[in-house]
Structure 1
């Protein structure tokens, strides 16, 4: 779809170059400017849309809580194994 705006802008610019009326040339130049801006915005919107995440991959709050609880349990287990009884420092 953005390429149609570019085609419109090029056609309007070509008409502006060949126009014998100043009013027609100004109108065509404005249309060419608007088409170019629409083309650039369309390309940007397309790029953002392609890089966005899939909504179906989002986690619900219950799943997120379960993952946090699992991570907390792993951290607690790692902390217990790091402080084993035979690891006392003598000073």
Structure 2
């Protein structure tokens, strides 16, 4: 779809160059600008989407709380000189 916007922008620019009507040329240039902006935004959205993390890897609050409690228990056991609790 992104490349379609680029082709439409090129077509609108070509029509703007070939026309003898000033009003049609202005409309085509504005359309070409709009299609170019849509193309760039589509490419950026695709790039950002490909680099985003998987949402299933994000910890829920209960799991995060459990991991914090385990870390505090290990620190407390290490400070007391005892054995760390078994996982």
Q: Same fold (TM over 0.5)?
A: yes
TM-score (ref. length: structure 2): 0.81
Gaps of 5+ in 1: 82-91
Runs of 4+ in 1 over 6 A off after TM superposition: none
Tell whether 2:68 aligns with 1:62.
Answer: no
Give the alignment's Cα RMSD to 1 decimal.
Answer: 1.3
Per the alignment, in what secondary structure is the counterpart of residue 53 of structure 1? coil
Q: Which residue of 2 aligns with 1:32?
A: 32
CA distance in 1, matches of 2:78, 2:6: 59
TM-score of the superposed pair, with normalisation by structure 1: 0.78
Unaligned runs of 5+ in 2: 82-87
For the pair shown, which has the larger CA radius of gyration, 1 or 2? 1
